[in-house]
Structure 1
Amino acid sequence: MKDHYQVIVVGGGTGGLTVAAQLLNSSNPPEVAIIEPSEKHYYQPLWTLVGAGVFPKEESERNEADFMPAGAEWIKDAVASFDPAKNKLSTKAGKELGYDYLVVSAGIQIDWDAIPGLKESVGKPGTGVVSNYSYDTVSATWETLRNFKGGVALFTEPSTAVKCGGAPQKIMYLADDAFRKQGVRDKTTIHFCSPKTSIFAVKKYADSLDKVIARKGIEPKWEHNLKALNPDKKEAIFDHKGSDITLKYDMIHVTPPQSSPNFIKQSPLATKDGWVDVNKDTLQHNKFANVFALGDNSSLPTSKTGAAIRKQAPTVVANLLSAIAGQPL
């Protein structure tokens, strides 16, 4: 491993791999290194269907090496900190690496510890607490759904940004379908608990989804933000307009709070909210001209989805190649 690269890409997920591959397939490919600690790559959109029993979770797992672009140097390490003023970063293994250009696409962090009672109960048999947001817990969602005999089923979403904004609802609709097929829907109350005041931010779609939840008999609880679980009593505590509200449950699917990775939040690259601070048109950093970012860890106003990355990656690549060539973006 060298100590300086022309382009360092942080993150071997959808965004980082896409940008690296497109850079290396360009007519004048730069030198590219990818920093990614994981040996496995997960197709996370499938986890909703894994949680609904449509696929086994193993179908979502591949070897990271199978997706590493030819010509890229894979650094199997994780970033610990950035020093963009010196065009350097440090890794958890203690290496200091320099770069001419930096692309940050490290995804989003799941904050399991933000809800007391969640980490120790999620996916554990008998707790009724499930979540599709981890490879280790997603199978428990389907085990809970298929063995459900009726009662109260809660589905939550947090007040934070989340990967795939529709996912907290998708598993709820699939659960409703499973309960009907199993003959227990008439013995089941489904609540969608959200800190928001409507089912979707765009009114046109919210109007349609309001009809869906009404047709399915799903009862929304607006301005309910999950703050703690008492798994021994099967109680969920929500903040509702500044007061604590306790709801009993027989099962609860939790969409956990999410945020920018800590090593980004604590860096000079971040906005006050923790995201990599980039121009929404160029995806270039607003302070450090040789830094670009895309995907879930960026400050872009788009949804945090693979679909968004599909449109963002070509912009990063085109502008980065222009910057390398000394041309305007």
Structure 2
Amino acid sequence: MSSHYQVLIIGGGTAGIMVAAQLKRKNKLVDIGLIEPSEKHYYQPAWTLVGANTYDFEKTEREMSSLIPEGVKWIKEHAETFIPDQNKVITAEGKEFTYDFLVVCPGLRMAPELVPGLTEAMDKGIVCSNYTDPQHTWEVLQNFKGGTALFTMPTTPIKCGGAPQKIMYLADEHFKKSGVRDKTDIIFALPGGVIFAVKPIAKTLMEVVDRKDINVRFFHKLVKVDPHKKIAWYEIDKDLTAGGCVIMSDDDTKTLDKEIQHNYKNVKTEIEGNLYGIHFDMMHLAPPQAAPKFIAKSPLATAEGWLSVNDKTLQHTQFSNIFGLGDTAQLPTAKTGAAIRKQVPVVVANILEMINAKKLTAKEYNGYSSCPLVTGYGKMVLAEFDYSKEFKPDPMIKSKLFIADSSQEHWRLWILKKYILPYIYWNKMMKGIEV
């Protein structure tokens, strides 16, 4: 026997709780079920600060039970199978749930297995990630005594694309305080050709990189990690045949074409076939990330395994009574809590209009996302943009924080990151108040 809900939500992360809370605020009579197996809910944006010992991990954690809105049925199970033509979801525990409307927002999963050797390396002590264990990141930074500090990121979509470099800027300042920066080379290896996709932000970040003397290596696609020899192996993913070789085997000062690096540092490297290896003494990375397997194998997924939704309405591309948002949705913008903040009102408005009038509203999501880029202790840049990838700062930042240009570093933006945003998250967003 199945249980029926007017609205069934998959996922109790930022998106799921916000959708449930906003629906209940706008219409208390809506019958909502929320499928979420986890006992804890985390404010993950603060994990960058935890990794640099400037925020308490405990403050990022709340009991899931404390966040489920009043009147919403918490179904503490794992969603497993979708049968959308029957409006049905089956859990891993074997229970069936039917719905009038389905909201799919289970987030994404860490997938270190996509890079051979990475899972083992992350258990070895000197490879860390704020994405999985920010407290371990701080241990690694404390134990680092100099050498090559490698920061890197995968080719997959990830939560907050700026996070892999935020911790690097904080690490640089910690290394100065601990007296090891003079005997340290900091390397940032990334798969793309720019440090950030929004031009004014990229300009500021390259100035930060120059000030901190960080070696940036572009077009580096991480393909495997040797946890024993401490080598990260990359493919150099750029065709430079017209301008000479990318890799040369004799003089390491010429190993990488000048076109694909900035602030060259002569760290230990080696070549194996067409792979380029960087030796490291510590490494921080964003692991590869993917949609949950139950999404990827479902009839709701794109060929790439992500949830298939309309970019603007967030309605599923095939099933009109299904909506999707958050990190698991295939949307051409950054996967951040700020994006979810703008997506939720669109989903809520459309579901309520579908209930009442069987049609969508004119409300649309424009791709807005923001990435608070911490550039040091007490300094931050705020990247805000939409589907156009152009810099689109919120006028409230200028008027309420008295910041003329949020593409430049400012201490008030650090206050926003460390104090204001967590307060807004727990006290407004999680309670269904639009901000």
TM-score range, shorter chain: over 0.9
| Residue aligning to 1:199 | 195
In the TM superposition, what is the alpha-carbon distance from 1:123 to its structure 2 partner?
Answer: 4.9
Amino acid at match of 1:94: G
Distance 1:280 1:70, change over 3 A: same
- Would you say the 8 A contact 1:123–1:138 is kept in 2? no
Q: Residue 7 of structure 1 contacts residue 101 of structure 1 at CA under 8 Å; is this kept in 2? A: yes
What residue is the counterpart of 1:32 in the other structure? 32
Aligned position for 2:308 = 277
| TM-aligned CA deviation for residue 204 of structure 1 | 2.2
Return the match for 2:178 from 166, 182, 189: 182
Q: Separation in 1 of the partners of 2:283 and 2:319?
A: 43
Q: Provide, for residues 232-288 of structure 1, a one-character-per-residue CA deviation record: whole Å limited to 9, x for no partner.
A: 111111121382111100000021111111111111111112221111221111110
TM-score normalised by L of structure 2: 0.73
Between 299-308 and 116-125, report the one with greater CA deviation.
Answer: 116-125
2:292 aligned to 261, 267, 271, which one? 261
Contact 2:191/2:237 (8 A) holds in 1: no
Corresponding position of 1:133: 131
TM-score (structure 1 length as normaliser) = 0.95
**1:115, distance to aligned residue in structure 2 (A):** 1.6
Q: Distance in 2 between matches of 1:11 and 1:78?
A: 9
CA distance in 1, matches of 2:8, 2:129: 33
> Aligned residue pairs: how many?
325
**Mapped pair 1:144 → 2:140:** yes
Task: Say if 2:227 is the partner of 1:231.
Answer: yes
The answer to whether the 8 A contact 1:23-1:29 is kept is: no
Matching residue of 2:212: 216
Deviations 1:280-310 (A, max 9, x none): 2211111100000111111222311110111
Contact 1:223 1:240 in 2 (8 A): yes
Listed as ranges, the gaps of 5+ residues in structure 1 are none
Write out aligned runs for 1:238-249 (5 A): 238-241=234-237, 243-249=274-280
Q: Is the CA contact (8 Å cut-off) linking 1:123 and 1:141 kept in structure 2?
A: no
How many Å separate the matches in 2 of 1:34 and 1:57?
Answer: 26
Q: Unaligned stretches of 5+ in structure 2?
A: 239-273, 361-435
Deviation at 1:28? Answer: 5.3
Distance 1:28 1:325, change over 3 A: farther
Aligned position for 2:14: 14
Seq. identity, %: 52
| CA-CA distance at 1:208 after TM superposition | 1.7
Aligned partner of residue 208 in structure 1, secondary structure:
helix
Structure 1 residue 154 displacement after superposition: 0.4
- 1:170 is paired with a residue whose SS is helix
Q: Distance in 2 between matches of 1:264 and 1:120?
A: 26
Asked whether the equivalents of residues 237 and 246 of structure 1 are also in contact (C-alpha less than 8 Å), the reply is: yes
1:185-208 C-alpha deviation (Å, 9 max, x unpaired): 111000101011110112222122
State the alpha-carbon separation in 2 of the partners of residues 58 and 207 from structure 1.
Answer: 35
Q: How far, CA to CA, are the matches of 2:78 and 2:357 in structure 1? A: 30
Q: How much is the aligned-residue C-alpha RMSD, in angstroms?
A: 1.4
Determine the structure 1 residue equivalent to 2:352. Answer: 321
- How many angstroms apart in 1 are the aligned matches of 2:301 and 2:314? 14
Task: Please identify the structure whose Cα radius of gyration is greater.
Answer: 2
The CA deviation at 1:105 is 0.6
CA contact (8 A) 2:221 2:237 kept: no
Q: Which residue does 1:302 correspond to in 2? A: 333
Cα distance between partner residues in 2 of 1:138 and 1:123: 14
